[in-house]
Amino acid sequence: MNPAARLIIQRLLLGVLTLLVVSMLIFAAVEFLPGDLAEATLGQEATEETVAAIRRKLGLDRPPVERYFVWLGNLFQGELGVSYANGRDIVEVMGTRAQNTLFLAGMVAIIATPLAVGLGIIAALYRNSYLDRFINLVSLSAISIPEFLIAYLLIVTLSRSGMFPSFVVIDETTSLISRIYQSILPALALTVVVSAHMMRMTRASIINVLASAYVEMAHIKGAPKPAVVVRHALPNALAPIINVIAINLAWLVVGVVVVEVIFVYPGLGQLMVDSVGKRDIPVVQACSLFFASVYIILNLLADIGATLSNPRLRHGR
């Protein structure tokens, strides 16, 4: 079997195993959430018999191990269950929220990826110059500042001036232009952090390749420096760049939780936080599993992309 195909199959099997372990951790973590849904629903004056009846109706009286395997079996059948809070099907509850989260993540990816790769190439092209030092300073500052602080700074500077709304109000009837306008501030908050990581990795990868013998030969032959970087250095630096882009996009989908809460963005992150407050266990589990699945899948795609971009693995040499 081709080494690349064997490695891809190994990564896929490892991803399935990882997802299974993550499902166990998610279920166990939700079990340790403080409070009880039955008591929270009925109030402090509820009798023990009423609380026991609600727990029995929801299946909370069964052992955790049994409930885990029932939940896992339903997952294999494509059933996420029903929300304890409103009785709606979880797929229906998560549908629009997932679209909103993926829209925000896609918007950030479209902005951040070319911006980060372009700045990384420029920084590597003019290494140790004032421009390179300025880009490094800005990127290090962006990495050091947490996204929630960046979000609040954007609210103070751009929202109070009336340029953009401080909280997002979108639904299924919102037009694309209005949706983009409403999502500008949360997208900018995430773009600042994500771009900094990707830019630094792009710069480091290209600088590492620039020290290679074939790049020096291209310089000796008189090839222009930009052409050397774009034609020779960048293609051979793609593997780590693809890795860091995929990993940052995975973080992006998972890391929207904080930003969604700050801007009241109607996505999965906001839904999960609200569900934790309501002790809506099935929704919390479904949202957590969605985030974990996206993270694992994007990491698998990063491994596969890095494998396919490596000629030694691709051709079995």
| pLDDT tens-digit map of 136-183 | 898 888 888 888 888 888 888 887 777 888 888 887 788 889 889 988
Q: Which residues pair with 82 in a beta bridge?
A: 89
Any idea which of 2-6, 64-68, 241-245 has the lowest mean pLDDT? 2-6
CA torsion, points 94, 97, 102, 103, in degrees to nearest 10? 150
Residue 270 has pLDDT above 80, yes or no: yes
Query: What homologous superfamily does CATH list for 93-309?
Result: MetI-like (1.10.3720.10)
What does the pLDDT read at residue 36?
63
Q: Is 268 helix (H, G, I), strand (E, B) or coil?
A: helix
What does the pLDDT read at residue 40?
61
What does the pLDDT read at residue 43?
60
C-alpha span between 30 and 176 (Å, rounded)? 36
Residues in the chain: 317
pLDDT band for 61, please (50, 70, 90 cuts). Answer: confident
Residue 313 has pLDDT above 60, yes or no: no
Q: What percent of the chain has pLDDT above 90?
A: 0
**Long-range contacts of range 218-225, CB-CB < 8 Å, 24 or more positions apart?**
225/125
Measured over the CA atoms of residue 274, residue 279, residue 282 and residue 287, the dihedral's sign is positive
What's the mean pLDDT in 47-55? Answer: 72
pLDDT band for 309, please (50, 70, 90 cuts). Answer: low
What pTM was estimated for this model as a whole?
0.77
